[in-house]
Structure 1
């Protein structure tokens, strides 16, 4: 049990910065809406969507390759660190230079011709993100979860405080809403025509500050550009990079297809753009599941590579996956039966009509988390090309089902397509894994816990209790039933001293 406790502790440490960071960034959303017109906010979202795509290209999937090769017998971790980081420094400077060189045609191609300065800043941000990824990976490899989380939190706080300073304090002083006497001073650093630019500039400065925060890791670097050494790492990593591209399709394409394929008048009070807004707003509540998965991934990836060398590691992997599902199924259950209490996060009543997609998206993301657990087998056996096939299969399902379902179901079709995609990926990964790297997953128990959670959600949906207190007591009681059943079914294992 000590191994599991260690994983849980590291997951909590890694997750802290992510959870707080996403929460604080979510709270910035109404601040931005008070200043930016919809088209301005569209520029921000549009450009950062491209950042997500190019971030995969800049890192080449080398984080996972770094873990894999660092855990090989007799691996010289310092030499590996030197060569991987040197390669990413070289490639990031090269890619950023190409973007800056061809920034004019690129800006026209992505339909942001007036945002060349911001695109240039984002190119530098991409380079920094890629370069610091390996020092961060080294912290994870060395189980320095506290330092990892501390640096991530520092980056988040700098970003959030700078945004509050510019977009709340400086904005209001400049508008003479308060402290008007400070306006001459504020006018030297706050320029209204720069209102979009500050977001990108703050991001750039916060990312630059990561370098001194990681200085101990960078100071150990001995620059060593060795392309022959990198060939097996890149051969291992490129399928992971392709998986990342397919993941972007799975994550973002439904919004684009919803905009293009939704029949006119499908929602009487919404345009197609309005429907995308409702779907995107409700999708935010699936973030609670995403946070749990992301926190687990930070701790889980180095854990799986390290444990692969330990006797009975397959049993440990099965145990970890079972408890991952137990915890995520509870998150799925708790949010789904208490949806009305999460309405305040959506801010506007116009979003409430789309809340039916939230349980479906929560379950979809749960299966995505299961897929990440199961994917350990092809990373440990150097068969990462299976991950590419599975991811592209998922992307095909996403495209086909969205095309078929959106005209009939609207944004509910997007949600069902997402669930089908991630369930299919998890199932395919399990079936291939049992052939090439058998792990004794307790499939019956895992399926049983998911069925239990879904059954309790259906009970909350179809048993209507008008009284507010009675309804909430019933919903909390359903969550209690889940926890009690878990306790009694898993009690023997909980009492075993390991």
Structure 2
């Protein structure tokens, strides 16, 4: 029990800076969805989906490679220089090429005359990729405070710039203040989302000048060859993993079927992408839980491997993880009438995908718990097999379901992908590293939570107050049963309080 209490504390500690940063960033979603039309927000959704793939290509797994070789018998300064210079070189070339071809790509993506969207976007990617290695060095040197501070400063600058360009400047214009075109113009408002991000990324590069200037001007070519062979599989696995996470938002443009009678097909498609992207953000509640858990769980799992009862502990952790995940699922879905105000009214038509995405992300968290079997047994190739299997399922499911169900098909494709990956990982794990998971109990909790969820869809109440009371009773019933059955107070509270 003391080990589980330690994991709970570490999850909160490690996740604090990440939660604060991501929550601040996600507070921009209510702003965007109230300022932009769905087709405008669709541009934001689309470009940031491309960003996920491009960042993997532009850093080509060099962060993980830097960690690996820093712990080897190589000179740490040489490893740093050899990691950094290739990334800097590639991204300078990428930035130059992207700026020169901005008009071409803007036309291909049907962004009209707004080539500046591409310019800002390319510079964001290049700047963030270049700073990835200095950030990795801060982690390697255990400079957690400096790392977290710079990340939060980046987010703070981004948020302030968004408020300046999207709220303050329009306010001045409405009240008769003439602003120079170089500072603000009312057309192409979406561009200010990317401009704000670019300013924040540039500021981050300036703040990290000490880490960038500390690098030696030369790198070890022989070492670079070793690092390249190490990083290539990471690059491929990273791309496959990103297929599972973001490909749906890219494919929507090409697979959505436009209903008859829609005059502007392009605007319709971008609006659907915007609605999907905005409601996807609501599943942040489950994503944050999983991310904070992962920060603490991986070192915890490896540390427990030396204990005689390690497999029993892994089983307990799985049960507790799923129970807390189901609490988040019920909290988000039973109180959706409150949580929906996170996005603008124009985006409410997509709320039906939120439960699907919450369950999909819960499956993803279970996959992480199950992954301990191949990490402890040095069979990490199974992790790659699993990722490529998921990528195949994602592509096939999106191609089948999006033309039939629209953006709901993309949500179901995400769920199907992670659900099948979860099953495959479980059966592989039980074959190679048996853990006596409390499967019957877990299935009981899942059935109980889903039963309460479906019951809440058919409450006979029309009064919002009665509906709130009924949903609250259902939520508290699940929490009460879980606390009683699992004695969760012993994990979460100090011994005297428990």
TM-score, normalised via structure 1 length: 0.81
CA RMSD of aligned residues (A): 3.8
Q: CA shift at 1:71, angstroms? A: 6.4
Q: CA shift at 1:242, angstroms? A: 2.7
Matches within 5 A, 1:30-429: 30=33, 32-33=35-36, 41-67=41-67, 80-100=79-99, 106=105, 110=109, 114-140=113-139, 145-173=144-172, 175=173, 177-178=174-175, 180=176, 183=177, 189-192=183-186, 195-215=189-209, 217-218=211-212, 221-222=215-216, 224-225=219-220, 226-248=223-245, 250-253=247-250, 255-256=252-253, 259-260=256-257, 264=260, 275-298=272-295, 300=297, 303=299, 307=303, 311=307, 318-348=315-345, 351-378=347-374, 383-406=379-402, 409-429=405-425
Return the alpha-carbon distance in structure 2 between the equivalents of residues 29 and 480 of structure 1: 33
Tell me if structure 2 keeps the 8 A contact 1:100–1:120.
yes
SS in 2 for 1:391: helix
Q: Deviations over 1:112-171 (max 9, x none)?
A: 574444423322321221222233344455665554433222111111111211222222
Aligned positions, number: 481
Q: CA shift at 1:449, angstroms? A: 2.9
Match of 2:428 in 1: 432
Return the alpha-carbon distance in structure 2 between the equivalents of residues 80 and 448 of structure 1: 51
> Which of residues 3, 10, 13 in structure 2 aligns to 1:6?
10
Tell me if structure 2 keeps the 8 A contact 1:401–1:417.
yes
Q: Deviations over 1:152-200 (max 9, x none)?
A: 2211111111121122222232x2x33x4xx356666334467554433
Q: CA shift at 1:206, angstroms? A: 0.7
SS in 2 for 1:209: helix
Return the alpha-carbon distance in structure 2 between the equivalents of residues 6 and 404 of structure 1: 42
1:21 aligns with 2:25: yes
Tell me if structure 2 keeps the 8 A contact 1:135–1:218.
yes
Q: CA shift at 1:358, angstroms? A: 1.8
Q: CA shift at 1:333, angstroms? A: 0.8
Q: Deviations over 1:343-364 (max 9, x none)?
A: 323422x544443322122111
Q: CA shift at 1:214, angstroms? A: 3.6
Return the alpha-carbon distance in structure 2 between the equivalents of residues 155 and 60 of structure 1: 23
Q: CA shift at 1:406, angstroms? A: 4.6
Return the alpha-carbon distance in structure 2 between the equivalents of residues 424 and 265 of structure 1: 38
Q: CA shift at 1:12, angstroms? A: 2.6
Tell me if structure 2 keeps the 8 A contact 1:246–1:391.
no
Q: Once structures 1 and 2 are overlaid, which stretch shifts more, 40-49 or 365-374?
A: 40-49
Which runs of 5 or more residues in structure 1 are unaligned?
Answer: none
Return the alpha-carbon distance in structure 2 between the equivalents of residues 75 and 491 of structure 1: 49
Q: CA shift at 1:258, angstroms? A: 5.3
1:482 aligns with 2:481: no
Q: 1:184 to 1:98 in 2, by over 3 A?
A: closer
Q: 1:447 to 1:95 in 2, by over 3 A?
A: farther
Return the alpha-carbon distance in structure 2 between the equivalents of residues 471 and 170 of structure 1: 41
TM-score, normalised via structure 2 length: 0.81
Return the alpha-carbon distance in structure 2 between the equivalents of residues 95 and 42 of structure 1: 24
Q: Once structures 1 and 2 are overlaid, which stretch shifts more, 397-406 or 323-332?
A: 397-406
Q: Deviations over 1:27-73 (max 9, x none)?
A: 3314642xxx766555444433322321121122333444556667x
Tell me if structure 1 keeps the 8 A contact 2:61–2:234.
yes
Q: Once structures 1 and 2 are overlaid, which stretch shifts more, 433-442 or 222-231?
A: 433-442
Q: Once structures 1 and 2 are overlaid, which stretch shifts more, 273-282 or 3-12?
A: 273-282
Which runs of 5 or more residues in structure 2 are unaligned?
Answer: none
Q: Which has the higher contact order (CA 8 A, sep 6+)?
A: 2
Return the alpha-carbon distance in structure 1 between the equivalents of residues 84 and 26 of structure 2: 28
Q: 1:97 to 1:377 in 2, by over 3 A?
A: farther
Q: Once structures 1 and 2 are overlaid, which stretch shifts more, 306-315 or 46-55?
A: 306-315
SS in 2 for 1:189: coil
Q: Once structures 1 and 2 are overlaid, which stretch shifts more, 350-359 or 155-164?
A: 350-359
